[in-house]
């Protein structure tokens, strides 16, 4: 997408006066504010109706900007060099001298950090003197936003400005990785675990049980379109919308395809927009076919299981 410098200037103007705006990233859109400002961070929680104990991810241009806020080890450098900027979030130790607002972390001594790849947001981050705290731009517990109109549907006039960045190319949130001790995944996401494993040359534990509430932010009910969902469905019931992984020869009005040929990356990209579309089309129930549990299929299944706890 072409960079519109006037839009970036406008975004910067709002952020400098502690306003929150929506920003595009390659995973999902975020509600961003100055991560060094208590005022801006408090506003993010209020806008999202987010519980105060659910900490925010902070977005940096690159790791030179991160050095004053966090410490990190060699494993971080290895993964950073290979995958950043990109769809991965690291849990790091926060430095005592860091200027990160206590509202971001809920007074924890760790920080979730990410280096988004989207060219527009990278351009914005490069121009700022502070990093951006940004949770996904959806109301708490609901489906994330993957384009500017999704953000406007959720927040209307409450959000001062949405920086246009087209449709998110990955369409599902970042993978959260904690490398401080034994590597562990805290949230499956847009970067496949096996790809990270290959680079680290180590097995990574996935600590992502959707039915456990104790892991920060990984609440039981999440990513819900506000419509009940049934999974692994072969035969649908009357009046259900049916989500299929692959296009069928014969189609019906209530069939929604995630991908033409069953490509899991394409399916992940289309998942949230499909859930939102079905809701807009006024279906009262959703059935989903079996999704292969490999690669990004694991992330898709993780989100669907959480969404089905509605």
**54 φψ region: left (φ > 0), alpha (ψ -120 to 50), beta (else):** beta
CA 134, CA 141: separation in Å to the nearest integer? 15
55 binds, among Mg ion, ligand TXA, none (CB under 5 to 8 A by kind): ligand TXA
The shares of helix, strand and coil residues in the chain, as percent rounded to the nearest 5, are 30, 20, 50
Nearer to Mg ion, 136 or 270 (CB): 136
Both structure tokens of 7:
């839009």
**261 φψ region: left (φ > 0), alpha (ψ -120 to 50), beta (else):** alpha
Q: Please pick, from the candidates 15, 61, 114, 155, the single residue that binds ligand TXA as defined by CB under 6 A.
A: 114
Query: 58-97 mask for ligand TXA (x: CB under 6 A)?
Result: -------------------------------x-x------
Total residues found in the chain within this entry? 310
Q: Please pick, from the candidates 34, 98, 136, 259, the single residue that binds ligand TXA as defined by CB under 6 A.
A: 136
Please list every residue from 58 through 117 that binds Mg ion, using CB under 5 A: none
Which of the ranges 7-15, 129-137, 201-209, 288-296 carries the binding residues for Mg ion, by CB under 5 A?
129-137
Residue 278 in contact with residue 258, Cβ under 8 Å? no
Q: Please pick, from the candidates 210, 217, 225, 297, the single residue that binds ligand TXA as defined by CB under 6 A.
A: 217
Work out whether strand 229-230 and strand 205-206 pair parallel, antiparallel, or are unpaired. Answer: unpaired
CA 215, CA 208: separation in Å to the nearest integer? 8
Considering CB under 5 A, how many residues would be counted as binding Mg ion? Answer: 1
Pick from 129, 128, 146: nearest CA to 137 = 146
3-state secondary structure of 35: coil
Nearer to ligand TXA, 175 or 283 (CB): 175
Both structure tokens of 265:
């990356």
Smallest gap from Cβ 291 to ligand TXA, in A, equals 20
Q: Please pick, from the candidates 89, 98, 101, 136, the single residue that binds Mg ion as defined by CB under 5 A.
A: 136
Nearer to Mg ion, 29 or 80 (CB): 29
Nearer to ligand TXA, 209 or 232 (CB): 209
User: Where on the chain is the footprint of ligand TXA (CB under 6 A)?
Assistant: 25, 27-28, 30, 54-57, 89, 91, 108, 110-112, 114, 134-136, 173-174, 176, 186, 216-218
Residues that bind Mg ion (CB under 5 A): 136
């Amino acid at each position: 997408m072409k960079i519109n410098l006037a839009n970036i200037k406008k975004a910067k103007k709002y952020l400098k006066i502690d306003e929150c705006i929506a920003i595009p990233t390659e995973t999902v859109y975020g509600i961003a504010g100055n991560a060094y400002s208590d005022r801006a961070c408090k506003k993010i929680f209020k806008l999202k109706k987010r519980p105060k104990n659910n900490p925010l991810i902070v977005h940096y241009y690159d790791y030179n900007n991160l050095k004053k806020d966090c410490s990190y080890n060699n494993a971080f450098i290895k993964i950073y060099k290979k995958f950043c900027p990109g769809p991965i979030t690291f849990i790091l130790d926060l430095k005592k001298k860091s200027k990160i607002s206590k509202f971001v972390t809920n007074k924890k001594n760790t920080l979730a950090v990410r280096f988004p790849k989207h060219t527009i947001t990278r351009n914005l981050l490069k121009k700022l003197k502070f990093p951006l705290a940004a949770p996904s731009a959806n109301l708490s517990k609901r489906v994330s936003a993957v384009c500017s109109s999704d953000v406007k549907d959720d927040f209307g006039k409450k959000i001062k400005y949405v920086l246009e960045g087209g449709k998110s190319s990955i369409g599902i949130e970042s993978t959260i990785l904690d490398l401080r001790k034994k590597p562990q995944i805290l949230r499956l996401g847009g970067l496949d675990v096996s790809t990270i494993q290959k680079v680290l040359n180590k097995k990574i534990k996935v600590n992502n049980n959707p039915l456990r509430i104790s892991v920060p932010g990984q609440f039981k009910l999440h990513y819900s379109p506000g419509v009940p969902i049934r999974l692994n469905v072969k035969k649908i019931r009357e009046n259900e919308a049916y989500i299929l992984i692959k296009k069928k020869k014969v189609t019906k009005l209530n069939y929604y395809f995630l991908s033409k040929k069953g490509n899991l990356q394409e399916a992940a990209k289309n998942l949230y927009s499909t859930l939102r579309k079905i809701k807009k089309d006024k279906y009262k129930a959703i059935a989903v076919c079996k999704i292969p549990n490999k690669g990004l299929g694991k992330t898709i299944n993780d989100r669907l299981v959480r969404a089905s706890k509605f």
